[in-house]
Amino acid sequence: MKLIQVPFTNNIIFQRNVNKADNRYTTFQNRGPQGIVVHDTSAGNPTLRRYVQPNVGGIGVNTNNNHWNRPEAGEVLLHAWIGTLQNGDIATAQCCPWNYRGIHCGTGSRGTFNDSHIGFEICDDGFSSRDYFSKVYKEAVELCAHICRECKLNPMGDGVIVSHREAGQRGMGSNSSDPHVWFDKFGKTMDMFRQDVRDTMNAAVTPPGNPPPDASSEWAREAWQWAFDNKLMDGTNPTQPFLREQMAQVLLNLNRQGFIGK
């Protein structure tokens, strides 16, 4: 993930956070985010500069003056945007601290996730390129893993990571289909997305390739490394006997890592 900081200081909602305009803002700031809403722009423009200014970190210049870091953009604030830099690389622009209250998902019959959730947009390319989709999907997974680590969120928790459509279905946002049309086209679901976030977080705890404390026999090297990378075994005493209680612990570890059981 390439994360660029672009504080939206000219945005009305950003300023309401700075000024602690009412208790919706102070509550969000004090409690911190409870989840994340995933959006796509459905606008067929993958460039960050369309929405994010000024031109920092290679974003490029918006010559149409229609970006969202202006008072005229109105009462809308996303925490982050994923799209292309001037040179075509994928990046994430963070526009406010994660504990600011944004406005991004509307209101439903039961309330709004604006009061509890971070919102970010993935800029789409008209849903055309599989290559572009895979890159921004990966960027979005890594962004959510980053936020979940920083804000101590469980990506598999009920209602923690939701799409805009799921927010609407829960009565916590407006009716919208994003980003499901795009995800569907390239074979992804929100359940897969949440699992990918969890896997990314697990993988980051022990970077694959970190050697286990004790080296195993040559024939077992791949399995020994895998069991260690996945936190199933501690990587010590590779040639010692295996006790029944150790077996039970490994089974529990497998379960906790989501490999087996309920």
Binding site for Zn ion (CB under 5 A): 39, 164, 176, 178
- In the structure, how many helices (H) and strands (E) does the chain have? 8, 6
Nearest to residue 97, comparing CAs of 35, 14, 197, 2?
A: 14
For Zn ion, the closer of residues 164 and 194 by Cβ is 164
119 or 155, CB closer to Zn ion? 119
Q: Shortest distance, CB of residue 139 to Zn ion, whole angstroms?
A: 17
Burial class (CB in 10 A: 0-12, 13-18, 19+), 202: middle
Nearest to Zn ion of 38, 145 (CB atom): 38
- Shortest approach of Zn ion to residue 146 CB, angstroms? 20
Chain Cα centroid distance, residue 41: 16
User: Which is nearer to Zn ion, 104 or 198 (by Cβ)?
Assistant: 104
Residue 94: CB atoms within 10 A of its CB come to 21
Provide the minimum distance between the beta carbon of 85 and Zn ion in the complex, in angstroms, as a whole number: 23
Structure tokens at 226: 């895998």
Q: How far is the CB of 262 from Zn ion (least distance, A)?
A: 33
Query: Tell me, what amino acid is at 197?
Result: V
Residue 182 or residue 224: which is nearer to Zn ion going by CB?
A: 182
What residues contact 137, with CB distance under 8 A and at least 6 apart?
Answer: 122, 186, 188, 193
* CA 27 vs CA 23, 30, 115, 128, 230: distances in Å: 6, 5, 8, 40, 37
CB of 106 to Zn ion, least distance (A): 8
Q: How far is the CB of 73 from Zn ion (least distance, A)?
A: 16
Do residues 205 and 194 lie in contact, with contact meaning Cβ atoms separated by under 8 Å?
no
Q: Which is nearer to Zn ion, 75 or 245 (CB)?
A: 75
